[in-house]
């Protein structure tokens, strides 16, 4: 028999690793778009997803984040009949829904490669520490955006 038959088919350079992609929903729910995009893109890269798809997902996350900023700016600058708190609450709910939708799209994008990874005996990496770190960073960024928009509203810009 040939010795090639007993050599592993996956080399170290082609080996994959992954988070448990079902946990990405929790990241989206508690952290928002920023940690979802960062951890989702990292995981997609680990699983060998096409770079064009990863870039598309990052762009989609950026669109969601920019849309939130624009909506906040519009609602704070031009309040409607509802008070500003209600407007911000509505924007936050829509933003969280968009984050969950984004995590669902990431999940579907990675599902085939994830199943292949698990079927070939692959393990999942822990995500909790990175998710917490990125959630804190995301909270700081979004808070700074709120402060920035609020300050400019106060001074009439």
**Residue-level pLDDT at 108:** 95
Query: Which helix or strand (DSSP H or E) is residue 118 part of?
Result: helix 84-119
Domain-embedded: residue 33: yes
**Residue-level pLDDT at 153:** 61
In the chain, % of residues over pLDDT 70 = 80
Domain-embedded: residue 5: no
In the chain, % of residues over pLDDT 90 = 55
Q: Could you tell me which residue, 30 or 82, shows the higher pLDDT?
A: 30
Q: What is the pLDDT of residues 24-66, one digit of tens each?
A: 999 999 999 999 999 999 999 999 999 999 999 999 999 999 9
Domain-embedded: residue 101: yes
Domain-embedded: residue 103: yes
**Residue-level pLDDT at 154:** 54
Which range of residues forms the domain containing residue 72?
18-154
**Residue-level pLDDT at 74:** 77
Q: What angle do CA 111, 103, 65 make, to 5 degrees?
A: 145
Domain-embedded: residue 10: no
Q: How many domains does the chain have?
A: 1
Domain-embedded: residue 145: yes
The answer to whether the CB of 49 falls within 8 A of the CB of 106 is no
In a 3-state reduction of DSSP, which class is residue 22? Answer: helix
Confidence of residue 14 (pLDDT cuts 50, 70, 90): low
Mean pLDDT over 131-154 rounds to: 84
Residue 78 has pLDDT above 60, yes or no: yes
Domain-embedded: residue 2: no
Domain-embedded: residue 9: no
């Amino acid at each position: 028999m040939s010795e090639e038959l007993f050599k592993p088919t996956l080399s170290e350079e082609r080996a994959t690793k992954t988070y448990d992609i079902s946990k990405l929903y929790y990241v989206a729910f508690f952290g928002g778009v920023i940690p979802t995009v960062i951890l989702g893109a990292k995981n997609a890269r680990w699983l060998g997803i096409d770079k064009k798809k990863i870039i598309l997902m990052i762009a989609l996350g950026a669109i969601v984040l920019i849309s939130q900023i624009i909506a906040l700016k519009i609602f704070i600058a031009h309040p409607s009949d509802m008070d500003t708190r209600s407007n911000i609450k509505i924007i936050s709910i829509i933003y969280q829904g968009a984050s969950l939708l984004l995590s669902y799209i990431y999940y579907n994008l990675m599902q085939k490669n994830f199943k292949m990874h698990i079927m070939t005996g692959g393990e999942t990496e822990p995500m909790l520490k990175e998710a917490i770190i990125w959630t804190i960073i995301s909270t700081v960024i979004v808070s700074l955006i709120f402060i920035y928009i609020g300050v400019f509203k106060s001074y009439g810009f």
